[in-house]
Structure 1
Amino acid sequence: MTKLIIQIPCLNEAEVLPETLAKLPRSLPGIDIIEYLIIDDGSTDDTSGIARRWGVHHIVRHRRNRGLAEAFRNGVEKCLAEGADIIVNTDADGQYAGEDIATIVAPVVAGEADIVIGDRSVAENAHFSPFKRALQRLGSYVVRTLSSTDITDAVSGFRAMTRDAVQRINITTEFSYTTDMLIQAGRKRLAIKSVPIRTNSATRPSRLFKSIPRFIMSQGMTITRAYTTFNALRVFTLLGAALTLVGLLPMARFVWFFVNGQGDGHIQSLVIGGALLTVGVLVATLGILADLIATNRKLMEASILKLRRMDEKLEAIEKAQKETEVSLEGIETAPERRKAF
């Protein structure tokens, strides 16, 4: 029995949520059970009430707004707890076509991918401004390069994931999970596939960020942090080497003047060069320490994955025991019922 849970992070989406829910699929090839989950991220309207009245199976509610990354993280945790084999994440504002859920789920059902990203064809998408198209293409190129993947729309939130893939990824950012997740998935060598999807025009401005500069800064910090986490030795070694090379320049200048008998007036070059060399060595040393920490993180993630799977096995055993107890109680009470009859 393959179970799919479609999760939708929401913030004050009471007006548009009914239309979004109405377009979600009720059945899909290769899927036996489809359920819906709403993450109400501190809405001040009736988002949760609308979800309940529309028969949404699971609702996760935050008392105050915690951000998209936390909403996504809590949503997938709930999906895993409810036994989802496949998880689809989509938006409540209707940007993504509900009919395309079948498109992004198909490669997962076929066993061709662990994660499928809905590609909005940013370069030709008429719903995006020229500046946004250029910005999205640049950002996707950076993430594609750093994650060693072939994803053309890195920030698309429309994606399908296997249970195993979700269990292997630990979102640490507080801004947006999209790029962090891709860099982790790429570095953990998960099978990632991109498929073209349709999009609708925006019904309202984005609530993820208030301005383009703030979005660029937040995404840049997220990408840098995620990449450094998995490539600490490379990042710090390159930075240390760059500082060392810069430090050699003023020192070479001092040596030149010293050889020509003019060293007394250029001692500051020696001081600056020595300081930069020292900083470069310290940064490279930090890289070694950061790499050891990254190795420890890998061991911890492997342990967390084992614990998650052990918990699932224990829950399955407890469920089977309860079902057995109920069956035995029914057998024991059957003769008594016949006597009473």
Structure 2
Amino acid sequence: MSAPNKSYDPVEVEALKPEVVEQARDEAIAAFAAAADLDELKQAKVAHTGDRSPLSLANREIGALPPQAKAAAGKLIGQARGAVNQALAKRQAELEAERDARVLVEEAVDVTLPFGRVPRGARHPLTTLAERIEDTFVAMGYQVASGPEVEAEWLNFDALNLHADHPARSMQDTFFVEAPDGSADSGMVLRTQTSPVQIRAMLAGEPPLYAVSPGRVYRTDELDATHTPVFRQVEAIAVDEGITFGHLKGTIEVLVEKLIGGGLELRWRPSYFPFTEPSAEIDLQCFVCRGASVGNPDRPCRTCSSEGWIELGGCGVVNPRVLVAAGIDPNRYSGFAFGLGLERILMNRHNVADMRDMVEGDVRFTLPFGMEI
């Protein structure tokens, strides 16, 4: 190991020359003074006090000096670094004071003003839509009827001409309510449609009868973009002398146009329901693709599954057997009934592409609808 170089002249080390040290000191102090904010001061600090700064590099040269030269060089570098640190601390205090004063002005809060701690809410659009439909029917002379969601099988099925072996009464479509003793034969179900309310209305009064019944219904459907196991229906029934399918068609067309607007086609498909004869399914033209996705793989539509149509519900002329079950003379009276899904109407009315948005409880979905009452 070699000994220190005792004959080395410190004047020959460029970084330790007094004029070079003083220049590095002055440049650092000037850089701190020129910093306009704390970010610029931070950059100047790294440049003039960091490991690669001129004074730090000069300080490393002291170790190579002979003992008799180290004291003078150390004093020179120490005084320069002290002056730099003092200038840095002074400028940092000034900039922090300016920042604090600016924040107090720019971010001032008047604590004397009242603050609403409860954020503004919104009604669920399905509730608003149901009430709007009720208002529409009330204006046409209908009454609003309601009934329990846990319903007797006789009202949910038998009175509607759904016999004991009908597929709709199987576990694949219906939620059956367990009896208190644990048996499955309680005679009660979660209603699969609001049609039992119509039976209750017919049993409670004499024709002429015009009633609308919105409410929740339950079916064992999978939750997807256009289906949900718990959904809302609005059903209407009219029982009077001389009621025909034409009255039904006109009522639905007026209702759909009032709720959704014009420009979308309605499609009537022959169908079968035990409680109506003849029966039909009502489809509305897809509001997203307007039918352009049909047979076009380049423009798929997840809302209508590229079919071009969205199912609204079923309808038909009331089956005479249903009238008999409710104690009404089918030779004198006839009627029509229909059921529409509120979720489907909301999708078409407000361009909601996915039914799951309605049930997930995200306030970002309900807030745009506001507090309409």
TM value normalised by structure 1: 0.24
TM value normalised by structure 2: 0.22
More helix by share: 1
Rg larger in 1 or in 2? Answer: 2
More strand by share: 2
